[in-house]
Structure 1
């Protein structure tokens, strides 16, 4: 697979895209995080050869993951990778944006949508549709942003 990065470096790639976006916008906004995630989403990684091995997920809703309810936007890349032992496993590289709940955010409800490289033909269409979903948030600055990678 020429021109594909190791999946083990995916979190560093997302972190670099977010850092570059902050340099351009001078502040962290949802729009900046979304642009960084789209660039990250266009990168290809070496993954196991199966249909669901490289997926993008956008999900949002009001959740109390840390005790206090927050409106949360989760931008996730799920990758099926093989380590040196040839054991396949999934990792998720996530950018979680949290906002203080408001009536207009509560009105958005909850939502999720997946895109998989090897089964979905239109990445640009998915990005456009998800950008529309995020429209009410694009000019807001989140109260907090976390980046992390976790096995699933």
Structure 2
């Protein structure tokens, strides 16, 4: 798990994102989401989360799109120990059109059956909110990892 954050940072760095718009970062995140890592066989061991809303966690309120990859970490016996989440957080400031989107989240888990990653991603880009945010240039992109 130590290398996962570096992998995402590397993907973002090699994409030559100059004045990136949301859609550019989304494609990089999906490429990162397709990468395989050695994990347990549990159906929720490797998940992607797409979530947005207006939040004020560590700063003034701002509209945030948070793209997350979550990995289950097991102990030596193979039992669940904790999760590691790698975030690619895009912050936009506040605008009435963004605040009007409210909040939303959607999970995808590799190996859990159901939709594949491409179907999940396509469904998200078909949502009306995508029309509003896809061409926006975030004022900040924050990449970090946390244990949950």
TM beyond 0.5? yes
Alignment of 1:2-41 (within 5 A): 7-21=1-15, 23=16, 25-41=17-33
CA distance in structure 2 between the partners assigned to 1:84 and 1:8 by the alignment:
17
- Aligned position for 1:113: 106
Q: Return 5+ residue gaps in structure 2 as ranges.
A: none
The residue aligned with 1:4 is none
Alignment counterpart, residue 141 of structure 2, candidates 130, 142, 145? 145
Task: Find the aligned partners of 2:29 and 2:42 in 1 and give their Cα distance.
Answer: 23
Q: Aligned partners of 1:127 and 1:97: how far apart in 2? A: 17
Instruction: Spell out the pairing of 1:1-152 with structure 2 (5 A cutoff).
Output: 7-21=1-15, 23=16, 25-82=17-74, 88-119=81-112, 120-133=114-127, 134-152=130-148
Separation in structure 2 between the aligned mates of residue 79 and residue 62 of structure 1, nearest angstrom: 25
Distance 2:125 2:9 in 1: 20
What is the Cα-based RMSD across aligned positions, in Å? 1.8
CA distance in 2, matches of 1:51, 1:149: 21
TM-score by length of 2: 0.88
Kept after mapping to 1: 8 A contact 2:22/2:138: yes
More helix by proportion, 1 or 2?
1
Q: Mean alpha-carbon deviation: is it higher for 114-123 or for 83-92?
A: 83-92
